[in-house]
Amino acid sequence: MERQLKEVLNTSVLKCVKGNIKGGKISRACIYETDDGMVFVKSNNFTQAKEMFDGELRSLEVLYSAGIIRVPKPIKVVGLPDGGAVIAMEALNLTGDLKQYGAELGEQLARLHLLTVENGKREMRMCSSIHKSVTFELVDKFGFDVTTYCGFIPQDNSWQDDWVNFFARKIEVHMQLIDKEFGNREVRDLWSQLLLRLPKFFKSIDVKPTLLHGDLCRSNIGETEDGPVMFDPYCFYGHSEFDLSISKVFGGIPESFYDAYHTVLPVPRDMNND
């Protein structure tokens, strides 16, 4: 693996300075010293690891191009001859939990979610992009241009014009896995009933596709000395509320994050009335 990494990174020095650390929930990682500085490398022996890491790399590329929230600069995915794969990216010096920059991250996430085709050009002029030389492309459909993974579960990101159809398909993937593993007929029946009612939850909302992190839980955000960062994304273009819903699953995100987010992107009036 290290021989391949040296070739891909075009470095004469490849020294692991911090090894056997967590690389998300399912991978292991090392931080390497290279000719060009520190590089964070995740590895996984999963059969579909290359496709999984290709999805993560593409997600990082799009978020990095948006230039609103800091993410590790993506470098390369390498498939290993004995199976599995590795992904290399910029190593960030994380200083700990999201305590100092919660409000800043909330404001930045709202600005990211404002990047829709409808108002994206205006917002891109307003934001001071981190990466001036990179072009960010806006889309008008729901989905993503590659397969991404939630853990080991592949996500069907085929483009859709309708948010409800895309969202239903996303849930259906997980329901099929639950049905296959547990054979719980009650869960399947409840999902069938909910599926029929799903359009009613969005009947008064004009959902615009915007770039999402996709897995914005507590363990995938942090901060450096300079500000907030996020990592381990599986991006797609969808409803902005999806990121907020994921952020509440495991808790631990300061209220200042939500207050700042809704200062920039207020809760729609029709949702306040429900």
Give the span between the Cα atoms of 31 and 16, in whole angstroms. 6
The tokens for 165 are: 């159809």
Give the span between the Cα atoms of 22 and 27, in whole angstroms. 6
Higher pLDDT, 137 or 151: 151
Give the span between the Cα atoms of 201 and 100, in whole angstroms. 35
Express each pLDDT in 72-121 by its tens digit: 999 999 999 888 999 999 999 998 778 889 999 999 999 999 988 765 55
Answer whether residue 274 shows pLDDT above 50.
Answer: no
- Catalytic residue, from 54, 215, 232, 243: name it: 215
pLDDT at 250: 81
Higher pLDDT, 31 or 135: 31
Give the span between the Cα atoms of 224 and 250, in whole angstroms. 22
The CATH classification number of 2-90 equals 3.30.200.20
Residue 84 identity? G
DSSP character at residue 96: B
The ranges assigned to domains in the chain are 2-90, 102-272
pLDDT at 118: 62
For 227-262, b where at least 16 C-beta lie within 10 A, e where not — what string? ebbbbbbbbbbbbbbbbbebbeeeeebbebbbebbe
Class of the CATH domain delimited by 102-272: alpha beta
In DSSP terms, which residues pair with 153 in a beta bridge?
150
To the query of whether residue 215 is one of the catalytic residues in this protein, the response is yes
Answer whether residue 230 shows pLDDT above 80.
Answer: yes
The yes-or-no answer to whether 2-90 and 102-272 have a common fold is no
Kindly state the average pLDDT of the residues 218-222.
91
Is 0.85 surpassed by the pTM of this model? Answer: yes
Answer whether residue 132 shows pLDDT above 50.
Answer: no
pLDDT at 20: 84
Closest of 3, 7, 111, 31 to residue 67, by C-alpha: 111
